[in-house]
Every structure is written in C-alpha cells, then in structure tokens.
Amino acid sequence: MEERNNNEEMVKIPVSEYKKFLKAQTRLEFLKDYTSRSNYSVSREDIAAIIGFELNTEEE
C-alpha cells in the first residue's frame, strides 16, 4: 500500500478490477435509491436486473 500526504492509504489494482468495483458500486447505489423511493417491496426480479445477474426462476 502507498500512503499519501492526506493520510489516505492507496492500493494499486488492475484497471479491469477497478471498473468492476465501480460498476458494482454504481449498481448498488441505484438499488439503494430505487428501494428508498419504492412504495412497495422490491421484487427479486428487480434486484437481479439492477445488480446485473440472471435470476434462477425454477421452482425450489
């Protein structure tokens, strides 16, 4: 880890990993805002679509 003058530690990661983290953070912020504004429960399908994964719709 690298330390900067403002006492914030820095880490080096590949740009591809940084992009994944940034995309995940953006999706989670959107989900948080969407959930906060929703008058009803947020469906599993909505959560899967917002986060970006395919929901297994088979009966359990």
| pLDDT at residue 48, as a whole number | 94
Can you point out the beta strands (E) in 1-60? 2-3, 9-10
Give mean pLDDT, residues 35-40. Answer: 92
Contacts of 23 (CB under 8 A, 6+ apart): 52
- B/e letters for 26-56, b = 16+ CB within 10 Å, e = fewer, are eeeeebeeeeeeeeeeeeeeeeeebeeeeee
Q: What is the model's pLDDT at position 7?
A: 78
Higher pLDDT, 53 or 1: 53
pLDDT band at 2 (very low <50, low <70, confident <90, very high): low
Q: How confident is the model at residue 59 (pLDDT cuts 50, 70, 90)?
A: low
pLDDT greater at residue 21 or residue 56: 21
